[in-house]
Chain A
C-alpha cells in the first residue's frame, strides 16, 4: 500500500466565506476524513488558514502569500493510504472542497524511499 497526498486547492483564496458556511464545510470535512479514517486509510492531515501566509522565495525574498500573482491557494493537505492512485482519486472525489466552483484536489504519490526532498 502506498501513501498519497491530497492537496486541496481553492481557486480563489481571497474569497471569504461566512462563519455559517465555514462551519458547514468544517463538519463535512470532518465527516469526509472520518470516513477515510474508518477504513484505516487516513495517515495525517492539516488545515491551512489563509490569513498571514508567507512565501519565502529566491534570495530570501519574503512575500505575503500565498496568493501573489495568482489567487489559487492551498486550503489543506491530507495524507492517505491507498492501493492505487485510482483509489486515492476516489477519496479525493469525496472532498467537500470540490463543491466550490473551480476548486481542485491534487493527488500525489509520496516518494517511497526514505529520501529527503
Chain B
C-alpha cells in the first residue's frame, strides 16, 4: 500500500480505536478532546511521515503519539483540570500510574462500550447514526453529509447537539448491565440496521462511500457477535441479513451506475462467500425462541439468494411476510407480501388483495398494480404504471417505471 492510500486507510481503521479508548479514559463529557487528540495524531503522522518516511510499524507509531499527546494535554491542562473541571475522569498523575491502554482487548471493549453510549435512546436516531459514523467509523463530516444527502453545517449541528445531550444526560461509557442489555441492544441494532440501509438504499451517487457504510455496519455488528454477552440470536439474524444483501453489491449496478432490478441481475455476480456466511449466521440465530423482525427479514433475504422461481420459495417468502407484518407493519412489506401472494395464489387473487391496501400516495403501489394487471388487462396495467410514473420522485425510479411501460 502506498503512503497516499495508507493514511486514509489507517485513518478509517485507527481513528475510531484511538478515539474510543481516549474517550473511555476521559469520560463522555470530553468526547471532543478525544476526537481532537486523535485528529491531531493523524496530522502529525502526515507531517512527519512525508519527510521522514513511513515508520516500520505505522499503527504502533500512531498509538505512541496518541498516548504522548493525551499525556501532554493533561499536563498542560493540569490547573484547568484541578480547579475548573474536577469531574474529569483521570488526571495527569493517573496517566503515569495507569498507562492509556491501547491493547487489542481494550480497543474492542472501548469500541463496544462506545457503541452502546452513542446509540443511547436519549439522542435521536439520526444523530446516533451520525455520531457512530464519525466516532466509530472514522467518517469525515463531508462524507456523512453526502451519505445523508445534506450539508456539512446540518451534520455539524446535529452532532454538536447530540454530544451536548450525552454530556448533560451523563451517559456512561460502559457495558449495560445484564438486565438492561436487551433493551439497549434493541437501539443499537436499529442504528446498525439503519446505517446499513443508508448505504444500501441511499440515493447518494458515491458508490464507494455507500459500500463503506454497509461494511462499517457489518463490522460493528460483528463486534457484537464476537462478544459473548451480546452474541444473541437477533444480533446474528441482523448480521445474516446484511450478508445476504451485501452479496448483491456487484450485481445491482450496471456499468453506467444504474440500478439493476433483482429479476434482471446476473446471479454469477452474487458473492457466494457472503451468501454462505449469511446462511451460517442465520443458522446461528435460530437458537432461542424469540423471532425478531431481523430473523424474518433475513429469512426473506435468504430465499432471494435462490434465483429460480419455485413454489417453495414463494410460499416461504409469503409466510415470512405474513409474520413480519404482524410484528411491524410497513407499506413496503405490505406491497412485497402482495407480490409474493401473486406468485403463490395467482395475479387475480393478488389484485383483490392489492386493492384493499389503498396506498394511494405510494408509487410502488401503482407499480405493483401495473405488474399484477400485466397480461390480465394490459390497459389497466398501463394506467397504473402511468400513475406510478407521475408519483415517482427520483430519476432512477422514473426510468425503471418507463422501462416497464415499454415492455407492455
Chain A residues at the B interface, C-beta cutoff of 8 Å: 27, 30-31, 33-35, 37-40, 42, 44-45
When distances are taken between beta carbons in the complex, the residues of chain B under 8 Å from A42 are: 325-326, 329
How far does the Cβ of A86 sit from chain B's closest Cβ, in whole Å? 15
Residues of A contacting B337 with CB < 8 Å?
A: 34, 38
Q: Give min CB distance, B189 to chain A, whole Å.
A: 22
- Nearest residue in B to A90 (C-beta to C-beta)? B356
Q: Give chain B residues whose Cβ lies under 8 Å from the Cβ of A40.
A: 329, 334
Residues of the A chain whose Cβ atoms lie less than 8 Å from the Cβ of B60: none
Contact, CB under 8 Å: B325 / A38: yes
Cβ contacts under 8 Å, A33 to chain B: 322, 326
In the bound complex, residues from chain B placing their C-beta under 8 Å from that of A30 are: 319, 322-323
Task: Write out the residue numbers on chain B whose beta carbons fall within 8 Å of the beta carbon of A35.
Answer: 353, 356
Residues of B participating in the A interface, judged by any CB pair closer than 8 Å: 318-319, 321-323, 325-326, 329, 333-334, 337-338, 341, 345, 353, 356-357
Whether A39 touches B326, Cβ cut-off 8 Å, given contacts A30-B319, A31-B318, is: no
Q: What is the bound-complex CA distance between A37 and B326, given in angstroms? A: 6
**Which residues of chain A are near B323, meaning CB under 8 Å?**
30, 34
Asked if B318 contacts A38 (CB within 8 A), the reply is: no
A42 → B minimal CB distance (Å): 6
Interface centre among A33, A35, A38 (most CB of B within 10 A): A38
Taking the closest CB of chain A, its distance from the CB of B348, in whole angstroms, is 15
Residues of B within 8 A of A37 (CB): 322, 325-326, 329, 334
Contacts of B357 in A (CB 8 A): 38-39
Chain B nearest CB from A82 CB (Å) reads 12
The answer to whether A34 and B321 touch across the interface, beta carbons within 8 angstroms, is: yes
Q: What's the nearest-Cβ distance from chain B to residue A65, in Å?
A: 27
- Give Cα A71–Cα B366 distance, bound, in whole angstroms: 48
Asked whether, in the complex, the Cβ of B318 is within 8 Å of the Cβ of A34, the reply is yes
Distance between Cα atoms of A33 and B326 in the complex (Å): 8
Tell me the bound Cα distance from A27 to B356 in angstroms. 20
- CB contacts (< 8 Å) of B333 on chain A: these are 38
Contact B334 A39 (CB under 8 A): yes
Tell whether, in the assembled complex, residue A38 and residue B334 are in contact, meaning their CB atoms are under 8 Å apart.
yes
Q: List 29 A-B contacts (CB under 8 A).
A: A27-B319, A30-B319, A30-B323, A31-B341, A31-B345, A33-B322, A34-B321, A34-B322, A34-B323, A34-B325, A34-B341, A37-B325, A37-B326, A37-B329, A38-B325, A38-B329, A38-B333, A38-B334, A38-B337, A38-B338, A38-B356, A38-B357, A39-B334, A39-B356, A40-B329, A40-B334, A42-B326, A44-B326, A45-B326
